[in-house]
Amino acid sequence: MIALAGTIGAGKTSLTQLLADHLNSKAFYESVDDNKILPLFYKNPKKYGFLLQIYFLNKRIDEIKDSYDNDLNVLDRSIFEDALLFKLNADMGRATQTESDIYSSLLANMMEELPEQPHQKAPDLLITIQVSFETMLKRIEKRGRSYEQIANDPSLYSYYQNLNNRYRDWYAQYDESPKMLIDGDKYDFVEDPTAAQEVLKMVDRKLAELNLK
């Protein structure tokens, strides 16, 4: 199992598809466009923050189980990021500390309920895409989801900035599995086919190093 990580607009969905095609495996995508709770969260994060996290947790557990049928299936977000996202909401007053604590406990319990070996609970490789705050904002604006736009809600600026900063610390501290970092500004695989090929070569080398390919 390969899992992608990164802030909003980092390019996780694009790289997931590239990797799945390259490795002849299956891609699993985060439920966004069909997620009825997400727009409600952006309108009223205090009311819908906890419900949104439970929704994502349930979906990600299903994705992990479904991904067991091929060792190189690709998930476009890691379940280990969810605690980071919800902790940020709690720190910004968009969720209560009690809700954050309950969520963390529930996540730990659900991870324990996943099947034991040979099916791993952590990915064989975590690939984190790191982009600058400026790139993050440009991609959020380009993809055009109205509820994500700073023009519609100026308070999102500080939320996005805080989120991008926390991902850097999160990656440094992550130790659940082997990991690698992709510089999404240096290698713009979303727009540049040459950069996409370079990124695939980097991943191939890492997989070979881990004896996964």
List of residues 6+ apart from 121 with CB closer than 8 A: 64, 111, 114
Residue 34 known to be catalytic: no
Closest-CA residue to 89 (of 48, 141, 122, 123): 48
> What is the spatial distance between Cα 86 and Cα 92, in angstroms, rounded to a whole number?
10
DSSP codes joined into one string, 114-142: S--TTS-SS-SEEEEEE--HHHHHHHHHH
List of residues 6+ apart from 73 with CB closer than 8 A: 1, 2, 20, 25, 26, 27, 28, 67
> What is the spatial distance between Cα 110 and Cα 107, in angstroms, rounded to a whole number?
5
> What is the spatial distance between Cα 138 and Cα 181, in angstroms, rounded to a whole number?
21
* Catalytic residue chosen out of the listed positions 76, 82, 124, 175: 76
Active-site residues: which are they? 76
